[in-house]
Amino acid sequence: MRPPSGQGGFSIAELLMALALFSIMLTAMAGVYALAFKGQADSIRQGAVSDQGTLLHNALNRAFAAATYVSDPAPGGTDTRLTLWENVDPADGAGALVAGLPRTYRHFCRDASASGVYLYRGEYPRTDIVCGTTTGGDLLAGGTRMAVAALFSREAENVVAVDYRVSFAGTSSKPLRPAAESLRYVLRHAW
């Protein structure tokens, strides 16, 4: 089909060819954008895993730096709970080392579903805590689509080993590296 003489235009075949080329280019561009967004989502997930591992590591460092007494786990024991006390006399586990200063605790625990590690803080005496359900706790690591394994081992009276692993439990286009670490703390206060 040719237009009448003197009038310009495209034939149907030319328009269909242009439309096909445009569709191919649009599909290719959509594929590139989808791949870029998937890669960005994986990077965000990897960053979240790494950030939560760092947050847990830093909270443990601060707690151990000030700790004078460990009440959980028991010496030689392993548990998903760790209770560190500040200004508590290790000789009796109750008295104040410095009179007039508060005796405080930091209680780390992994919840029953292994989806989070919480930190509870307070003053002596410690109340009963059900990890993840008792109000007043801060979620340090874990949450939606995250898996957290944390184990606290008391190797000696003043030595605590901490093993943790924070990982993404959802689906991802590529395997994500977990934030995992094995730490060993020695309380420097006299026993």
Mean pLDDT per 10-residue segment, the chain (191 residues): 66 93 94 86 85 91 92 92 93 90 94 90 90 88 86 91 87 78 81 38
| Structure confidence at residue 190 (pLDDT) | 46
pLDDT confidence of residue 18: 93
Q: Are 49 and 166 in contact (CB under 8 A)?
A: yes
Cα gap 169→176, rounded to integer Å:
10
Phi, psi of 115 (to 5 degrees): -110, 0
Per the structure, how many domains does the chain have? Answer: 1
d(CA 149, CA 73): 16
Residue 8 lies in a domain: no
Q: Is residue 19 part of a domain?
A: no
Range of the domain at 70: 32-186
pTM passes above 0.95: no
Tokens encoding 121:
């803080």
Counted residue by residue, the chain has a size of 191
**Cα 13 to Cα 24: distance, rounded to the nearest angstrom:** 17
Domain membership of residue 55 (yes or no) is yes
**Per-residue pLDDT, 134:** 81
In a domain, 22, yes or no: no
Residue pointed to by tokens 């003043």? 158
Does the residue 11 lie in any domain? no
Coil, strand or helix: which one is 18? helix
Could you tell me if residue 14 is inside a domain? no
pLDDT of 6 reads 59
